[in-house]
Structure 1
Amino acid sequence: MSRTAARRRSPRGGRQGVWGWLFVSPATLVLGLFLLLPVVMALWVSLLEWDGQSNPFTGGRADFVGLDNYRELFTEDGLDRTLFATSLRNNAYFVLIFVPVATALSLGLAMVVNQRLLRGRGLLRTTFYFPSVTSSIAVSTVFLFLFQGSGAVNTLLSWIGVNGPNWFADARGIVWVALDGLGLMDTDRPPGFLAGGNVLGLTWFEWLSGPSVAMCTLLFLTIWTSSGTFMLIFLAALQDVPHELEEAAALDGVTRRQSLWHVTLPALRPVLFLVLTLALIGSWQVFDMVYVMGQGAPGNTTLTPAFLSYRSGFGEADYGQGAAIAFVLFAIILACTGVQRWLLRERTARLGRPR
């Protein structure tokens, strides 16, 4: 019998396990009561047609409809499916732009402030991180004033010949705005192969339109307020990279770009995965800025699944559908995070394989 197995079977080891469970039981109870139990209750609500005016567990005005709330989102033609597909399209573009841009920008800022010979590093760190500690509601309100019809941004754009109020109220995507501005496509009459198709109630023209100008404004705001936090995470990881590796690479005549690609980034791979995961989850859950700056306007081009879930439940008293949207969003986040983890594991195994 091994020494480890003997310890596990000893009475002392058993008492340590009991004491361990005893110490973690308060935290486990709190997490179960305020986290796990509400999730289970919300899952039950997603199977109901409930207006929030009665107890969802005792009948009354809560009718069990099974998966009907999910069917309305995916298979049944109607406004619910169209709005849900629109929110998915908007958020997908948000994720595709926000995650790589915010990650690259925060890594670049971290590498700038990590230089030893740079003067005023403390001031730069504070400046870059300050937007992250500012209230998102306050920042969104300031941006709302900047981008309104008579705001500073539209005034500046008018100086270069861009009609600001019409520009930011345009419900078209930036892809079609650019093509229309260049005279390559008449967006009022899209080509037949784009006008056709029906994916969750949207045509290919709508799916491929790109984010609107208003959504790009939200993207700029989110990147500006999030890069500081990611910068600190990268900065802590950069300070743990052994300087011997960089010095050895410099002695071998490696350029800075080669050193970044072959020395720094491999050392930052676990932290890079963490930042990518946090950015992915945060971008799928964007809500507060949408609520303050437009609530879906113009033309539902800033509508996101998180805000649609809120509006369905608290705005239209359809808590069953609101909960269903929330769980679909949870499944999307879980799937994307799992794919990222699988890709990282595959890459690590491949790099660790002997040649």
Structure 2
Amino acid sequence: MTATATREPSARGHGSSRRRRVSGHRLQERRAGWVFVAPAVVVLVVFLFAPIVMAAWVSLLDWNGQSSPFSGDAEFVGLDNYRNLLVDAGLLRGDFMLSVRNTLYYVLFGVTGVTVLSFALATAVNSWVLKGRGYFRTIFYFPAITSSVAISVLFLFLFQGSGVVNVMLSWVGIDGPSWFNDPRGVLHIVLSRFGMDAPPSWLADNTLGGLSLWQWVSGPSVAMCALIALTIWASSGTFMLFFLVGLQDIPIELEEAAAIDGAGAWRRFRHVTLPLMRRSVVLVITLALISSWQVFDQVFILSQGAPAKTTLTPAYISYVRSFGDGQFGVGAAVAFVLFAIIIVLTIVQRWIGRERRA
């Protein structure tokens, strides 16, 4: 009895000592982990989260950028910048709604075009029938590693008055400069060919966000179509790689089994390839959607909103209001509204493209 009673406390003491050592070891691991990630955390806080918080504060101010936003020179106006942007009728809200309309068409045609083209390119370079696949992969990807400024300048030369595009249009009797300087949307241009120059009363009288419904359904201008073509050409190489990775992850046995069962190329693509590429498609659409709403450099170099603000975008408005007019509070408010639009549309797109269980 005495020996057993003596051994039991010793065993309990040994177990508690072991637990303390394990706990101390885990604590040391946590501390070491924080030491290693501390530089990255500091960089994120200083260069990402702190500027976001500061920009949110600036959006509530009437600040010209000449002094500290935390000094008495910056007047606190609360939500007035957002009210002028979204509620009160005026030039700011009119320009912002025009930019939203322009960007909606940019997103609709740009995201659709780049998704379809990049998927087609990935399918082509993934085919064993194509010879020199590595060469074509490099050629298709080359625009993605080229500066967007250089690509924009190239398109500027192509579409200027004496550029190649306008010269080719003159061969078929189209006046290129007047065509690209037309502020009407492509739908309005097409309807005018059939004698419909005036809008129906119900489209002209009803408004949304300060714009008539006739303006909302005008379609992109020809200049915006050129910007969309630029984006599709420059971005398709990057998204081609995403699709290429997804295509190469599809087991070849599934394709062979479908072919043995008598499925043709189209049926194999529709019932085997596309369902297995759902995640890649959703990823590409999400990334293209986000980048399309943030378009700035092409607009700044090519058009600066012309003709008649038909290529105006929210990012360009934020830049002009901040650095052109010295209204940094308004520019920050535009940026945060744009951020909210991107978040909402991304959530909706992800919900629509989610995988559904049978």
* Common fold by TM > 0.5: yes
Aligned twin of 1:319: 328
How far apart are residue 267 of structure 1 and its match? 1.7
Matched, 1:243 2:252: yes
Deviation string for 1:155-190 (max 9, x for gaps)? 11111111111100000000000111233x11xx32
Which one-letter code corresponds to 2:213 in the other structure? W
- Secondary structure, aligned partner of 1:95: helix
Which one-letter code corresponds to 1:237 in the other structure? G
Inter-partner Cα distance in structure 2 for 1:41 and 1:302: 29
Which residue of 25, 45, 50 corresponds with 1:12? Answer: 25
Which residue of 131, 156, 170 corresponds with 1:144? Answer: 156
- Secondary structure, aligned partner of 1:298: coil
Deviation string for 1:304-324 (max 9, x for gaps)? 000010001001100000000
- Secondary structure, aligned partner of 1:25: helix
1:144-183 → structure 2 map (5 Å cutoff): 144-183=156-195
Inter-partner Cα distance in structure 2 for 1:117 and 1:216: 34
Structure 2: 5+ residue runs without aligned partners? 1-18
Which residue of 315, 337, 343 corresponds with 1:328? Answer: 337
Aligned twin of 2:40: 27
Matched, 1:92 2:101: no
Which residue of 58, 69, 74 corresponds with 2:71? Answer: 58
> Alignment RMSD, CA only?
1.4
Deviation string for 1:43-84 (max 9, x for gaps)? 000000111111111221x11011110111111111000000
Inter-partner Cα distance in structure 2 for 1:154 and 1:289: 20
Deviation string for 1:121-165 (max 9, x for gaps)? 111111111111111111111111211122111111111111111
Identify the range of structure 1 (210-219 vs 255-264) with the bigger mean alpha-carbon deviation. Answer: 255-264
How far apart are residue 333 of structure 1 and its match? 0.6
Aligned twin of 1:3: none
- Secondary structure, aligned partner of 1:58: coil
Inter-partner Cα distance in structure 2 for 1:144 and 1:117: 37
Which one-letter code corresponds to 1:259 in the other structure? R
How far apart are residue 225 of structure 1 and its match? 0.2
How far apart are residue 99 of structure 1 and its match? 0.9
Matched, 1:262 2:271: yes
Of the two, which has the highest radius of gyration? 2
- Secondary structure, aligned partner of 2:206: coil
Inter-partner Cα distance in structure 2 for 1:14 and 1:259: 55
1:205-354 → structure 2 map (5 Å cutoff): 205-345=214-354, 348=355, 350=356, 352-353=357-358
Which one-letter code corresponds to 2:264 in the other structure? T
How far apart are residue 343 of structure 1 and its match? 2.3
Inter-partner Cα distance in structure 2 for 1:69 and 1:103: 36
Aligned twin of 2:125: 113
Deviation string for 1:76-97 (max 9, x for gaps)? 1110000000000000100011
Task: Label 1:251 to 1:10 Cα distance change in 2 as closer, same or farther (>3 A).
Answer: farther
Inter-partner Cα distance in structure 2 for 1:105 and 1:324: 35
How far apart are residue 110 of structure 1 and its match? 0.3
Q: TM-score if structure 2 supplies the norm length? A: 0.92
Which one-letter code corresponds to 1:181 in the other structure? R
Which one-letter code corresponds to 1:155 in the other structure? V
How far apart are residue 16 of structure 1 and its match? 2.2
Aligned twin of 1:47: 60
Inter-partner Cα distance in structure 2 for 1:76 and 1:209: 24
Q: How many residues align?
A: 339
